[in-house]
Structure 1
Amino acid sequence: MLLAHDDASPEASPAVVLLHAGVADRRMWDPVAGHLAHTFRVVRPDLRGHGDTPLPPEEYADADDVAALLDHLEIAEAAVVGASFGGRVALELATRHPARVRQLVLLNPGLRGLDPTPDAAAFDAAEAALLDSGDVEGAVRLNVRTWLADGAALSAREALAAMQRRAFEVQLAADEAEVATGTGPRPERVEVDLSRVAVPTLVVAGGRDLDHFRNVAAHVAAHVPGAELTHLPWSAHLPALERPDAVVTLLLDALRDDPGVHAP
């Protein structure tokens, strides 16, 4: 299955792939992508179960989906920018298809294997309770309140609400189909060995994010050889929505830099 995607400036080189957070879809990069497209070929997919990409009842790995999209677009390698869940997928892509990744920028990345901190566990429990009771709108509000800093613009809050609502629609529909048919989506777990990630890597941590994600960012930066860690004290979990201008500057600085400066 080919991921729904946008491909800006296809005549440009080099390529940059933007992978969205799990509460969002490719629209989260709307305030950022146009600025990058002046210099780079910018590819924005919707991962399975998000935006315009369905969640069919089959085995899959998100990293394989991204690699297949690069094949379709005839892109040999790309810098990969991943936010939250998209950061986890970026690391899985670098693990499973290392030749396709030229550079990593990870914004408050996710990572399997680290125990959730109390704040993350409390969020998971609250979201599950709302969804179990059928209060999807309550779960949307919880996500917006949790993942955006208090000072985020109303437009950012409305955009995130729309993206999270869409993700719930797609994913809950897949859950209902699985109950009815006995067959559902089967994501493959891709194990990431951070010590084997061998590309220039910048990890970004939000000072107002949940403790869990600050811990993940520090862990990734400490275990990927040569990785750099940058703190954004003003940011919660989604800086690209909170202060897109600052993220554009950060990304242009990182992606235009001499890769040798960050190499392991």
Structure 2
Amino acid sequence: MDLHAEIKGSGRPIILIHGSGTDLREWVFIVPYLQKTCRVIAYDMRGSGKSPSPAGPMDHVKDLQMVMDDLHLTKAIIVGHSRGGQVACDFALADPSRIDKLILISPNLTGYTYSSEYENWLSKIVSAKNNIPLVTDLILQGKHHTVVAASRHYAFLKEMVFHYVKKTLTEWKSYEMHWPEPPAILRLKEMKPPTLFIQGTREFEDMYQIKEHYSQIPSIESILIPKADSMTTLTHPEEIAENILAFMQ
């Protein structure tokens, strides 16, 4: 396996997939709770953290399969945040037999069409081109970072985002991503694994529209965390860990 991964603890296997712009370090405050009873596997997605940058089109779903295969895991609990949640969802639809339980934290959704507000935010980021500090700042100015921006974890998040932006702008050879077809947005009613959906109350409106789509999953529980944005993994780690452990039982 060419992806960087860290494994701690023993017990039921649980795989943590980080969100856009970060790396496996975003789970640093959650892992200590989980590793007491679980074998916790966190990995850097391709193009992030210590994993190699893409030389061609990326397939994050196949990468997750590779992680499980290389660790000889026939089944695991999968936790995904943001884009990591999108990966987890698509993988669960593609191969539900390998998912024990599915936990999605403010996930993206394959096939969803984003609003003009969201697209305008992305356009500002793209227009900054190769200005790494400016791109970093524009990402962090997103509506889904308002709570973490006022927290003691802001500097840590900014360091992760800066590292990600620098890597994408100086190392990536391709920005293309392959996702399974048909897109997940059309298949959520087919989802088989029990699913937990966690979300904060201060995010882009698109994320609440996405939540409505995920509500089609037959066996889903939803938890809303007050006064939290997308980065609950940093600002509310104990609460996230407690909900994960409770759902596992």
The TM-score, its normalising length taken from structure 2, stands at 0.91
Corresponding residue number in structure 1 for 2:192? 198
What does residue range 113-192 of structure 1 map to in structure 2 within 5 Å?
A: 113-130=111-128, 132=129, 134-146=130-142, 147-150=144-147, 154-175=151-172, 178=173, 184=174, 186-190=176-180, 191-192=183-184
Corresponding residue number in structure 2 for 1:244? 237
Give the Cα separation in 1 of the matches to 2:56 and 2:134.
30
Task: Identify the range of structure 1 (207-216 vs 135-144) with the bigger mean alpha-carbon deviation.
Answer: 135-144
Give the Cα separation in 1 of the matches to 2:219 and 2:177.
30
SS state at 1:31 partner: coil
Between the two proteins, the alignment pairs up a number of residues equal to 244
SS state at 1:250 partner: helix
Corresponding residue number in structure 1 for 2:203? 209
Give the Cα separation in 2 of the matches to 1:115 and 1:15.
34
What does residue range 10-159 of structure 1 map to in structure 2 within 5 Å?
A: 12-130=10-128, 132=129, 134-146=130-142, 147-150=144-147, 154-159=151-156
Deviation string 1:131-156 (CA, Å, 9 cap, x unpaired) is x2x33212212222323233656541
SS state at 1:6 partner: strand
Give the Cα separation in 2 of the matches to 1:154 and 1:235.
11
User: Are 1:152 and 1:242, in contact at CA under 8 Å, matched by a contact in 2?
Assistant: no
Letter in 1 for 2:225: L
Among 207, 222, 225, the alignment partner of 1:232 is 225
Corresponding residue number in structure 2 for 1:181? none
More helix by share: 1
Give the Cα separation in 2 of the matches to 1:85 and 1:206.
16
User: Are 2:29 and 2:237, in contact at CA under 8 Å, matched by a contact in 1?
Assistant: yes
Corresponding residue number in structure 2 for 1:261? none
User: Are 1:54 and 1:170, in contact at CA under 8 Å, matched by a contact in 2?
Assistant: no
* Gap change, CA 1:126 and 1:61, over 3 Å in 2: same
User: Are 1:210 and 1:236, in contact at CA under 8 Å, matched by a contact in 2?
Assistant: no
Give the Cα separation in 2 of the matches to 1:60 and 1:112.
14
Unaligned runs of 5+ in 1: 179-183, 258-264
SS state at 1:240 partner: helix
The TM-score, its normalising length taken from structure 1, stands at 0.86
SS state at 1:113 partner: coil
Q: CA RMSD in A?
A: 1.8
Give the Cα separation in 1 of the matches to 2:46 and 2:57.
11
Unaligned runs of 5+ in 2: none
* Gap change, CA 1:234 and 1:79, over 3 Å in 2: same
Give the Cα separation in 1 of the matches to 2:19 and 2:67.
18
